[in-house]
Amino acid sequence: MDSTTVPGLRIREAVKQDTAVILGLITELAEYENLAHEVTATQGQLEEALFGARPFAEVVIAEYEGESVGYALYFHNFSTFLGRPGIYLEDLYVRPDCRGKGIGRALLVTLAEIAKKRNCGRLEWIVLDSNQPALEFYSRLKAIPLDEWTVFRLSGTALDELAAKG
């Protein structure tokens, strides 16, 4: 799964033994976005969610000169309008000291290749409005922001309350 021409870079599917590395990279991403206080995932939870009997998401890891320096975590969604699956990119992260080398682009190329191979009609993700470098990066790739959509979320007490009223 080497879809890149960046010397010293290898993109590969994550395996169960990568769980600690993935959690470390997730924590780094959260710190970068000033959201470290929201990370409650444990290594055991991630291992079950990614590599258990029913995996909910997949991960590709970027290794640069033999070191894990980034990842993309994704899962399938479905477009009723297209009648086809899509890929939703939950996280894309490259360590700051490795940015500007083409690693983030290589991770997205890999996901685009996976999407095409799986007959997906879309690859989509959400970006924090405050993450200007990411917004500029995605714009250079010709990704289109969907300003007319608003993201909603139910979690914690609100999710519990709605489920209890079922």
Pairwise CA distance, residues 86 & 58, whole Å: 13
CA distances, 2 to each of 11, 64, 83, 87 (Å)? 5, 12, 30, 19
Asked if 55 contacts 2 with a C-beta cutoff of 8 angstroms, the reply is: no
Tell me the helix, strand and coil percentages in the chain, rounded to 5: 40, 25, 35
* Whether 70 contacts 58, CB under 8 Å: no
Is 71 a known active-site residue?
no
- Tokens, residue 67: 């070191």
DSSP 47-70: HHHHHSSS---EEEEEEETTEEEE
Catalytic residue among 64, 71, 93, 138: 138
Active site residues per annotation: 138
